[in-house]
Amino acid sequence: QVQFVESGGGLVQAGGSLRLSCAASGRTFGSDAIGWFRQAPGKEREFVAVISWSGGMTDYVVSVKGRFTISRDNGKNTVYLQMNSLKPEDKAAYYCAADASYGSNWRDSAVRYWGQGTQVTVSS
């Protein structure tokens, strides 16, 4: 059974930083793309970032480019999301996810494995 343990969420002031982590168990994700989505109250789930299995390719939603950085450590089966210059509109539940495919499926939220989410709150 695949499980994700997400951590690093919390409350931060606007302009601050947080680092989310997602450790996977039950499956080795070394050959999968891993990424993050978020969902704010009353809004649809939104793609945030994805990283290819090798770490050589990344993709971000426009609203976080230049502020967020996704990375992975395959030896630890873990993906990270460094979030800098946080804005109140970044407030959401953040979910890690994984899929064998790195492509447009991520923009469509068509990924196979999902975490339980960690809450990020940004105060103005």
What are the residue ranges in the chain where pLDDT is below 70? none
pLDDT at 26: 81
pLDDT at 30: 79
pLDDT at 50: 97
Closest CA to 74 of 102, 103, 33: 33
pLDDT at 35: 95
**DSSP-derived secondary structure for 19-87:** EEEEEEESS--TTSEEEEEEE-TTS--EEEEEE-TTS--EEE-GGGTTTEEEEEEGGGTEEEEEE-S--
Over residues 85-109, the pLDDT tens digits come to 999 999 999 999 999 999 999 999 9
Q: How many CA atoms lie within 13 A of 40 on its CB side?
A: 9
